[in-house]
Structure 1
Amino acid sequence: MKRHSLKILATLTLAQPMPAVAQDLRVMTFNVRYPNPDDGPNVWAKRRNLFANTVRAANPDVIGTQELFQSQSRDVVHALPKFRWFGRDRFGGHATEHMGIFYRTDHLRLVSQGDFWLSETPEAPGSMAWGATLPRMVTWGIFATRGTKPYRFLMIDTHFANRDVEDEEARRRSADLIAARLPMLAKGLPIVLTGDFNATPDSEAHRRLAAVLTDVWATSPTKTGPEGTFHDFTGKPQAMIDYIMVRGFAPVSAAVLTDHAGDRYPSDHFPIVAVLRRKD
């Protein structure tokens, strides 16, 4: 085994949350960083194996991704054949970034799926509003577990506008739109939301979603890893902007994973992986 492989395994062992019991759900949120050809040593081709290794070691049942290109999704499924994924891109096709949801087909069954845009015309693909410079959207799916006591839950995945000051209203309005749509989508089912909010926990966007959902990192009884997810390929977290939020689940554990091989990281964001227990 190569030296850097040992380092990866050691990091993963330390970072994983506590083992799940039967019927617990393992959820990951992961901004994959789109395949930017100008990323130099961090181009996708040089980190895709590390990305797959990070997911494999974390062993999630379902993953909400952001900035996912279709070519990246193919690489992930090729490396991790127990996973399937779904989603459309910002414009309703498959040419640019997706809010792609991956799931283990041996653990979960996809019942239904859909999407909407974070705008004043949510059903219009590619629609923008509130000053955002790119279309922002939500991908959602209803899943059924395959355990001995199966249940269904709603999974939704999103990525809010990124400019610090100029997009504050867009993030707030996006959070309001999601909160307003949750009852219609969930119909009483437990909810898991994953996303890159481009906003810290003290932001208005986070506060509005936290009024109807529970922030897993903030409330988990067991946590490992740094208090931040965006690190810009440095390994030094600058801010917590990625989240797993739930309703109808109790957080068991959460970890911000800092897996790396030398100075290479699977993305410019650290992923979060959490163990969730359905409330009776």
Structure 2
Amino acid sequence: MRRWFLLLACLFGTMPWPTHAADALRIMSFNIRLPAESDGVDYWETRKPLAVKMLREQAPDVVGLQELVKSQADYLAHELPAYAWFGRGRNADGGGEHMGVFYRKDRLKVIESGDFWLSDTPDVPGSITWNHLYPRMVTWALFEQRSDGKRFYLFNTHLPYREQDEAARVKGAQAIARRLATLPAGVPVVLTGDFNTAPDSEAHALLARTLQDAWTTAPRVEGSEATFHGFTGNADKRIDWIFVRGVQLESITSVTTRWNNRYPSDHFPLVATLRLP
């Protein structure tokens, strides 16, 4: 019955959004994979309808995206009018990869938002230190639920990927932890991202001192533990994480859906379901 309903909705141009249990929030972390012609059959032009289909099916309230570029964000915004988004490119001129955040306009409003760079000069756009190849950054926001006025912070990041970048990943985790320590006490926090390192790493341990890893602490866990699969579906690395603080965590799921043997990205998205106190 649900399939017929969705088919009719598509035919007549309206897509209903699944309803959630009262006040439950669905937070997604999604490395969308930037457009790279070297991906061949998995190039963005092929994948983009799959990304939209996945997002419609999962109906997250907030999505922290990594490897997002402006053309991808514009496409998603056009196809998903229930969402607004914000974020800027990591480069000094505002171009390049965005830590873009999409959110449901009917459920949430942004009270404040901003960015900082993972460098010795975090307030300088495009700044690079710690032997990074590229600028690395965090985009954040303070959200408020429209239904009850409850608030939470969302931080979204993407740490460097090379094996020799482990020290930089540790410094990045330290910078994020320092920024989280400045937030008002009692306001819940969610951190999404592609951290490009293992759960037994020092970077993970630093963040886990004040945050809980949703994958290891949620009462209900579904899907593949590993998240990076390189478009094969055979994931072997758990490098995408959702951390939380001050929330009632209900579940976390990795989204492994594919269509015609094609995936929306080379990473499985994560979706954490939680409630604010």
Change (3 A) 1:186 1:238: farther
Counterpart of 2:41 in structure 1 is 41
1:252 aligns with one of 225, 250, 253: 250
Deviations 1:80-139 (A, max 9, x none): 111111111111444311000000000100111100000010001111121111110000
2:214 aligns with one of 209, 213, 216: 216
Contact 1:69–1:94 (Cα < 8 Å) also in 2:
no
* In 1, Cα distance between equivalents of 2:123 and 2:99: 16
* In 2, Cα distance between equivalents of 1:20 and 1:83: 16
SS in 2 for 1:106: coil
For the aligned residue pairs, the C-alpha RMSD in angstroms reads 1.4
Identity of aligned residues (%): 48
Partner amino acid, structure 2, of 1:245? F
Aligned length: 260
* In 1, Cα distance between equivalents of 2:116 and 2:35: 24
* In 2, Cα distance between equivalents of 1:38 and 1:62: 30
* In 2, Cα distance between equivalents of 1:206 and 1:134: 21
Partner amino acid, structure 2, of 1:109? K
* In 2, Cα distance between equivalents of 1:65 and 1:90: 13
Change (3 A) 1:186 1:41: farther
Counting only pairs closer than 5 Å after superposition, residues 112-123 of structure 1 correspond to structure 2 as 112-123=112-123
Q: Does the alignment pair 1:155 with 2:154?
A: yes
Deviations 1:231-273 (A, max 9, x none): 0000000100001101111210110000111221000000000
Counterpart of 1:278 in structure 2 is 276
Contact 1:139–1:158 (Cα < 8 Å) also in 2:
yes
Counterpart of 1:198 in structure 2 is 196
Partner amino acid, structure 1, of 2:117? W
Counting only pairs closer than 5 Å after superposition, residues 1-280 of structure 1 correspond to structure 2 as 20-147=20-147, 149-164=148-163, 166-186=164-184, 188-279=186-277
Shift of 1:220: 0.8
* In 2, Cα distance between equivalents of 1:184 and 1:151: 19
SS in 2 for 1:21: coil
Partner amino acid, structure 2, of 1:221? P
Partner amino acid, structure 1, of 2:84? R
Contact 1:138–1:157 (Cα < 8 Å) also in 2:
yes
Counterpart of 1:10 in structure 2 is none
SS in 1 for 2:182: helix
Mind listing any 5+ residue stretches in structure 1 that lack a counterpart?
A: 1-5, 7-18
Deviations 1:28-63 (A, max 9, x none): 000000011221101111010100111111111000
SS in 1 for 2:273: strand
Counterpart of 2:13 in structure 1 is none
Q: TM-score with structure 1 length normalisation?
A: 0.90
Partner amino acid, structure 1, of 2:42? N
